[in-house]
């Protein structure tokens, strides 16, 4: 039997206003080659200047990962040739990165936990983009020089499931910290997945393959499954030595397979050396202290939600899965509604009505509006069923809840007299059942409630109907 070994290199694009070594904007989607200057174009005589904001964001991440912060770190040139890299080298960090050893805890569905080591995190600039068009290619350098924080894990993960838990946790941490928008489609959170196998019980590391540039959880899972299968089959066929070599592979999303892209270069191939244009990066204790004060992280938020609002752990997990959801939830509670209702209406009802992949922030229904809808139910003005109908409309267009209640005729009847009249009618029609009920068939109570609700076309306040029915049947 084999054991799977996975180590991840995650590239997080920092959401600084400007690039890592110049003052060009980092905005996504601008016209090609408009956010460029002499530094990111590598014109002769231009010199890089480190972006402070990027270093602050690295300190925040280090704090979240309980990692060592190197007060003095070094920028190195990593030399390689590619058309989207005008300098001919990437500025990165090598022996002494800004963030040293740390860790991240992942949690399984049964509540058990595992700590994954984080080897390091270093600052580096991104390359531009080659855009291939038929028989020619274009180069867009808008992205060249964008700050990346590369977070390298230890080879501590033993399954695709563990790798995904690690990635999702890290993704939510950078979003909580607000250091990256971590938008996977746009590539601001992407990773290289290193996979190897070994016979169970062995501690030695075997040859790894690196699957480059993955930016979808679903594809990462598929790529790992494919790679594990490929490597174990090679082992069993006796072709492991030949087939499994240290190399960079690409995942083909259409075929669902990985394939060889190039042999894996070793560090020596890159001719790393300290960049003579940049002094060592020195962080003062003052700056470290200032940026070590980070916002509440997912785990702490979860505990606080469970304790303060007395909600289930499962619900707390759903709420903290994104910072938008957690903030939306707490914003709703300012309107004095029950936390349990808030969870259901946010995580189930509203979520189900969001367009696939849409974020809560773009939704027409904000926390105040959803809270107000819930308040209408809690006050007995509308039924939960009516509220669902109203929510259907609210996610589509700007509208007032009270107007909709009137327009759709959803006001609940809570008036004793009106409900009593219906009850009397129902009981009169079902004399036989009333006798049965009185002779001890308690179960029939539900039947009566159902009949009353039906007769009122769902408009009777159920709590009221229950109460009055009980009295009437006595
Ligand atoms: P490189 O940039 O050359 O890929 P790094 O040291 O930056 O090298 O990253 C190597 C990554 O590969 C780390 O995440 C590490 O945990 C992982 N790794 C190293 N050896 C193995 C192995 N045998 N199997 C799986 N992952 C590995
Ligand atoms: Zn520039
Ligand atoms: Mg790598």
CA-196 nearest atom, ligand 1: 24
Ligand nearest the Cα atom of residue 209: 1
Ligand 1, atom 11, residue with closest C-alpha: 7
Q: Starting from the edge strand earliest in sequence, which strands make up the sheet with 89-92, in order?
A: 89-92, 76-79, 273-274
Residue closest to 466 by CA, chosen among 416, 410, 411, 405: 416
User: What value, to the nearest 5°, has the Cα angle with vertex 36 and ends 11 and 131?
Assistant: 65
Map tokens 């259409």 to a residue: 254
DSSP-derived 3-state class of residue 113: strand
Ligand 1, atom 13, residue with closest C-alpha: 7
Mean pLDDT of 417-437: 89
* 110 CA to centre of ligand 1 in angstroms: 29
CA 117/CA 156 separation, integer angstroms: 7
Task: Give the rounded distance of the alpha carbon of 147 from its chain centre.
Answer: 21
Each domain of the chain, given as residue ranges in start order, spans 2-291, 298-408, 416-473
Task: Give the rounded distance of the alpha carbon of 465 from its chain centre.
Answer: 44
Q: What is the pLDDT of residue 224?
A: 98
DSSP-derived 3-state class of residue 183: coil
Q: What is the pLDDT of residues 105-147, one digit of tens each?
A: 999 999 899 999 999 999 999 999 999 999 999 999 999 999 9
Residue 375 neighbours by CB under 8 Å, 6+ apart:
335, 336, 337
CA 304/CA 315 separation, integer angstroms: 13
Ligand 1, atom 5, residue with closest C-alpha: 152
Q: What is the pLDDT of residue 122?
A: 98
CA 8/CA 191 separation, integer angstroms: 7
CA-205 nearest atom, ligand 1: 23
Domain 416-473 - what CATH class? mainly alpha
Helix pair angle (416-429, 444-455), 10° resolution: 120
**Under a CB-based contact definition with an 8 Å cutoff, are residues 152 and 121 in contact?**
yes
CA-195 nearest atom, ligand 1: 25
**Which of 117, 208, 220 maximizes ligand 1 atoms within 8 Å of its Cβ, making it the mutation to test the pocket?**
208
Ligand nearest the Cα atom of residue 228: 1
Across the chain, mean pLDDT equals 94
Q: What is the pLDDT of residue 1?
A: 87
Q: What is the pLDDT of residue 317?
A: 92
Protein residues within 5 Å, CB atom, of ion ligand 2: 22, 24, 37, 39-40
CA-264 nearest atom, ligand 1: 3
Length of the chain measured in residues:
474
CA-154 nearest atom, ligand 1: 16
Neighbours of 98 (CB within 10 A): 26
Query: What proportion of the chain, given as a percentage, has pLDDT over 90?
Result: 78
DSSP-derived 3-state class of residue 374: helix
Q: What is the pLDDT of residues 168-215, one digit of tens each?
A: 999 999 999 999 999 999 999 999 999 999 999 999 999 999 999 999
CA distance between the termini of the chain: 70
Does the pLDDT at position 263 exceed 80? no
Residue 431 neighbours by CB under 8 Å, 6+ apart:
none
What pTM did the predictor assign? Answer: 0.85
Q: What is the pLDDT of residue 392?
A: 94
Neighbours of 434 (CB within 10 A): 17
DSSP-derived 3-state class of residue 199: strand
User: What value, to the nearest 5°, has the Cα angle with vertex 349 and ends 221 and 168?
Assistant: 25
* 389 CA to centre of ligand 2 in angstroms: 52
Mean pLDDT of 352-360: 84
Q: How confident is the model at residue 456 (pLDDT cuts 50, 70, 90)?
A: confident
**Pocket-forming residues, ligand 1, beta carbon under 6 Å:** 5-9, 152-155, 194-196, 205-206, 208, 210
* 9 CA to centre of ligand 3 in angstroms: 6
Alpha-carbon dihedral sign for residues 345, 348, 354, 358: positive
Poorest-confidence range of 62-76, 256-270, 436-450?
Answer: 256-270
């Amino acid at each position: 039997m084999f054991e799977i070994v996975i180590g991840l290199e995650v590239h997080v694009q920092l959401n600084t206003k400007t690039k890592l070594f110049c003052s060009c904007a980092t905005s996504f989607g601008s016209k090609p080659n408009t956010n460029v200057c002499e530094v990111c174009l590598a014109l002769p005589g231009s010199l890089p200047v480190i972006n402070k904001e990027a270093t602050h964001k690295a300190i925040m991440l280090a704090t979240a990962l309980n990692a060592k912060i190197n007060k003095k770190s070094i920028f190195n040139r990593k030399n390689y040739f590619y058309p989207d890299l005008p300098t001919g080298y990437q500025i990165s960090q090598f022996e002494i990165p800004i963030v040293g050893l740390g860790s991240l805890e992942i949690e399984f569905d049964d509540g058990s936990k595992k700590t994954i080591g984080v080897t390091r995190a270093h600052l580096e600039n991104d390359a531009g983009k080659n855009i291939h068009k038929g028989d020619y290619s274009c180069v867009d350098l808008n992205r060249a020089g964008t700050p990346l924080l590369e977070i390298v894990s230890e080879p501590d993960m033993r399954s695709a499931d563990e790798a995904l838990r690690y990635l999702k946790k890290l993704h939510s941490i950078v979003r909580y910290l607000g250091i990256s928008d971590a938008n996977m489609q746009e590539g601001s959170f992407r990773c290289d997945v290193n996979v190897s196998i070994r016979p169970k019980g062995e501690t030695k590391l075997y040859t790894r393959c690196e699957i480059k540039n993955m930016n979808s959880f679903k594809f990462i899972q598929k790529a790992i499954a494919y790679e594990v299968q490929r490597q174990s089959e090679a082992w069993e066929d006796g072709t492991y030595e030949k087939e499994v070599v240290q190399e960079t592979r690409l995942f083909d999303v259409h075929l669902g397979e990985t394939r060889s892209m190039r042999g894996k270069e070793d560090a020596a191939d890159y001719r790393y050396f300290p960049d003579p244009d940049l002094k060592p990066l020195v962080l003062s204790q003052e700056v470290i202290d200032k940026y070590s004060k980070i916002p509440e992280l997912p785990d702490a938020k979860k505990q606080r939600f469970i304790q303060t609002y007395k909600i289930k752990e499962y619900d707390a997990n759903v709420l903290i899965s994104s910072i938008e959801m957690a903030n939306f939830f707490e914003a709703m509670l300012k309107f004095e509604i029950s936390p349990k209702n808030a969870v259901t209406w946010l995580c189930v009802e509203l979520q189900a009505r969001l367009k696939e992949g849409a974020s809560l922030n773009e939704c027409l229904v904000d926390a105040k509006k959803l809270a107000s809808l819930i308040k209408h139910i809690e006050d007995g003005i509308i039924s939960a069923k009516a509220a669902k109908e109203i929510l259907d409309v609210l996610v589509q267009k700007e509208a007032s809840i009270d107007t909709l209640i009137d327009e759709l005729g959803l006001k609940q009847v809570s008036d004793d007299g009106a409900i009593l009249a219906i009850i009397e009618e129902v009981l009169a029609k079902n004399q036989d059942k009333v006798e049965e009920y009185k002779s001890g068939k308690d179960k029939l109570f539900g039947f009566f409630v159902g009949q009353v609700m039906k007769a009122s076309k769902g408009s009777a306040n159920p709590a009221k109907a229950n109460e009055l029915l009980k009295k009437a049947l006595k």
